[in-house]
Amino acid sequence: MPVITCIEDLRVLAQKRVPKAFYDYADSGSYTEGTYRANSDDLAALKLRQRVAINVDQRSTATTMIGEKVTMPVAIAPTGLTGMQWANGEMLGAIAAEKFGVPFTLSTMSICSIEDVASVTTKPFWFQLYVMRDRGFVKSLIERAKAAKCSALVLTLDLQILGQRHKDLKNGMSVPPKLTLANIIDLASKPAWALRALSGRKTFGNLAGHVKGADGILTLSKWTASQFDPTLSWDDIAWIKEQWGGKLILKGILDVEDAKIAAASGADAIVVSNHGGRQLDGAVSSISALPAIVEAVGDQIEVWFDGGIRSGQDVLKAVALGAKGTMIGRAFLYSLGAMGEAGVTKMLEIMRQELDVSMALTGTKDIKDVGPQILMRR
């Protein structure tokens, strides 16, 4: 077993262990991938302010996100096809998150179903919703999330038209998926992954059995591609809020005007996010958009951050710029693909340790006291 010191170690291990098509699906952006790279590059460009001779004994990374206690201001973001990184990956990720004390968000496009995840957890998790053309199906998903006692609904707003990711097309991750010779050879070179996959779930768990005439991965992929709804509007969001009746998080806000509308919608939190650079290539990085959005609506609604987080220091920087919480996607997928549940636990431990040490070296004892004072002025 290699020594794991950082998220990059987990990424490298995942790249070795996960078939290329599924690894690339997780680790790709749209078009030139410029926004994908900017998310991490712009975080790295922020410099921390070192302080000394300040009592930083007995530090705390604990806080709350929409009223829920968390051991650090981090939630696992919704990620599609998670169960293809490691068999039954959504269930394993939810277990690790619950044990560690951070929220887990299940994607609509997960391999394991809402009911699967509910069967292995003892505390409420969050469910992420894509708005489909079939509003009856949307309503049924909401009802299933209620039945599973999910404590928040995460509504993703920035994927009504799918951004093109060149790697997916080249790897055959199209609709329907294509099995290429290169994929077959690659799968043969990953026997441990293949052996686990045989015993794991293999289709879209939240869709199979609930979509008439579509049960297999091919037919469900076709159905899903036809269902993303470009007519989505704020009226639909009001309808979803009414159907759900619980805590609502709006993910995919990158513009101040959209943030103002979202804050007035009655939602409980917004996530400043560009979908990990997987949608509008050429959009600003999430961290670049964060300060103006916090200034505009931060006293009306919780503002969270998503995009490019690869360390506890990145979490600290986002909090310093006003985020009340963060969501991590790729770091979660790397850790799951590398080592399964143990990898997710390791990733969360690394994140918290990096956050804790960096707080100490910037003269901060409590995460709730972190602000722009810990950053060097530009």
Q: Among all residues, which ones are annotated catalytic?
A: 275
Q: What DSSP string runs through 45-78?
A: H--B----S----S-B--EEETTEEESSSEEEPP
Strand partners of residue 110: none
Quick one: CA torsion of 135, 30, 308, 302, rounded to 10 degrees?
Answer: -30
* Residue 3: strand, helix, or coil: coil
Sign of CA dihedral 330, 336, 337, 342: positive
Which ranges of the chain does DSSP label H, i.e. alpha helix? 7-17, 20-26, 34-45, 89-100, 114-120, 135-147, 166-171, 181-188, 191-199, 217-227, 234-244, 256-263, 286-297, 312-320, 330-361
User: In this structure, are residues 34 and 166 in contact, taking their beta carbons and an 8 Å threshold?
Assistant: no
d(CA 227, CA 308): 28
Whole-number Cα distances in Å, 172 to 21, 24, 164, 167, 227: 7, 11, 13, 9, 21
Sign of CA dihedral 22, 27, 31, 32: negative
The kind and range of the H/E element at 271 are strand 269-272
Strand partners of residue 48: 375
Tokens coding 262: 């979202």
Phi-psi region of 308 (alpha: psi -120 to 50; beta: other; left: phi over 0): left
